Amino acid sequence: LGVQEPVGFWDPLAFTADGDVLAFKRRRCVELKHGRISMLATMGYITPELTGKFPGFLAPSAGLKFADIPTGLAAVSKIPALGWAQMVAYAGYCELSGPTTRAANTSDYADIVPGDYSFKVLTSSDPAEKDKKLRAELANGRLAMMAIIGMFFQDGLTGSAWGDWALYTGSPLRAFEN
């Protein structure tokens, strides 16, 4: 699982050259987890632009409405400390409620199925169909990891995740404009 067309097996840094199955399993678990987080982050970046924001107040005591929070990286400085505390607490809950593994300790991964976090979303009684769904999740997760990094990069340079390069006057590519 993970060898995808059109690239096929691709390991330019030879991480799998030693043949350590548990190390590969750990990397696959981490790849699936980061892919899922990136898919959520990418949708979180896009959704407010397409559907709008929640009505009402984010912080009633501060008079801060959801509509007052900009999208993208500009939101980081606008969210109150208690909001950040709630997000950190939820992230901690998600981390601690999953499989218990120690960083880089591959023996912890012997009995773990990559991507299994106590609920089954991608299931099928047909093994070929399940394999197809798992391959799609890997491919979509890989794409989402690249997409969210690209959105962060564009947002950091231009102030917009949608790449309004007219706002980035310091671009070295401006040298080629007439």
Q: Is 149 left (phi over 0), alpha (psi -120 to 50) or beta?
A: alpha
Q: What is the reported pLDDT for 43?
A: 93
- Going residue by residue through the chain, which has 178 residues, state the pLDDT in tens, using 9 for 90 and above: 667 777 778 777 888 888 888 888 888 888 888 998 999 999 998 888 889 899 999 889 989 999 999 888 888 899 999 999 999 999 888 777 766 666 667 777 777 777 776 666 677 788 888 888 888 888 999 999 999 999 988 888 777 777 666 666 666 666 677 6
3-state secondary structure of 102: coil
d(CA 40, CA 33): 11
Question: What is the DSSP secondary structure assignment for residue 115, as one 8-state letter?
Answer: T
Q: What is the reported pLDDT for 1?
A: 63
3-state secondary structure of 4: strand
Q: What is the reported pLDDT for 102?
A: 66
- 50-84 in b/e form (b: 16+ CB < 10 A) is eeeeeeeebbeeeebeeeebebbbeeeeeeeeeee
Q: What is the reported pLDDT for 48?
A: 86
CA 110 vs. chain centroid, Å, equals 25
Residues 6+ apart with CB under 8 A from 64: 57, 58, 78, 80
Q: What is the reported pLDDT for 9?
A: 80
Measure CA of the first residue to CA of the last residue in the chain; give whole Å: 49
